[in-house]
């Protein structure tokens, strides 16, 4: 993960990325719950299940580039497979793609697990 991003954004940019991750994940999980409760057919629910898992990963900031890519692809899948209003899935696809490109920020599990580590050398 460290090879994907040179640094993880701190300060206001990090808070902005946290808000983007959390709001995107909340909307994805909300739409997933609403859609899976309305549709009993597995083929129509499969993208929502995939999105729910990716939304949870985005919420905690784990594997953000992978989860953002999955969100973008799944939302585009929804846009092209349904005849309903395409604007909400298109916006969520753009948000997922932007999170995949920008990264998770400092307030994420990715930054904790894969960020730069400070090595303390004991003095004699």
Question: Angle at the Cα of 51 (from 111 to 78), degrees rounded to 5?
Answer: 135
Per the domain annotation, does 119 fall within a domain?
no
Per the domain annotation, does 42 fall within a domain?
yes
Note the pLDDT of residue 3: 56
Sequence-ordered alpha helix ranges (H) in 9-106: 11-38, 42-60, 64-81, 87-102
Q: What is the pLDDT along the chain (124 residues), one digit of tens a residue?
A: 545 555 677 888 889 999 999 999 999 988 888 877 777 777 677 888 899 999 999 999 899 999 999 999 999 988 888 777 889 999 999 999 999 998 888 888 888 888 766 667 777 7
Note the pLDDT of residue 1: 55
Per the domain annotation, does 107 fall within a domain?
yes
Per the domain annotation, does 3 fall within a domain?
no
Please give the residue range of the domain that contains residue 86: 11-114
Note the pLDDT of residue 55: 92
Per the domain annotation, does 74 fall within a domain?
yes
How many structural domains are present in the chain?
1
Burial of 65 per CB tally in 10 Å (0-12, 13-18, 19+): middle
pTM of this prediction? 0.80
Per the domain annotation, does 18 fall within a domain?
yes
Q: Cβ distance 110 to 1 under 8 Å?
A: yes
Note the pLDDT of residue 111: 82
Per the domain annotation, does 100 fall within a domain?
yes
Per the domain annotation, does 55 fall within a domain?
yes
């Amino acid at each position: 993960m460290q090879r994907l991003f040179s640094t993880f954004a701190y300060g206001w940019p990090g808070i902005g990325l946290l808000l983007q991750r959390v709001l995107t994940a909340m909307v994805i999980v909300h739409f997933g719950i609403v859609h899976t409760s309305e549709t009993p057919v597995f083929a129509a629910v499969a993208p929502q299940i995939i999105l729910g898992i990716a939304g949870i990963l985005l919420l905690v900031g784990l594997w953000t580039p992978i989860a953002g890519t999955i969100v973008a692809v799944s939302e585009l899948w929804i846009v092209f497979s349904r005849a309903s209003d395409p604007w909400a899935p298109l916006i969520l696809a753009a948000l997922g793609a932007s999170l995949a490109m920008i990264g998770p920020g400092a307030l994420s599990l990715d930054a904790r697990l894969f960020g730069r580590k400070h090595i303390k050398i004991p003095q004699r």
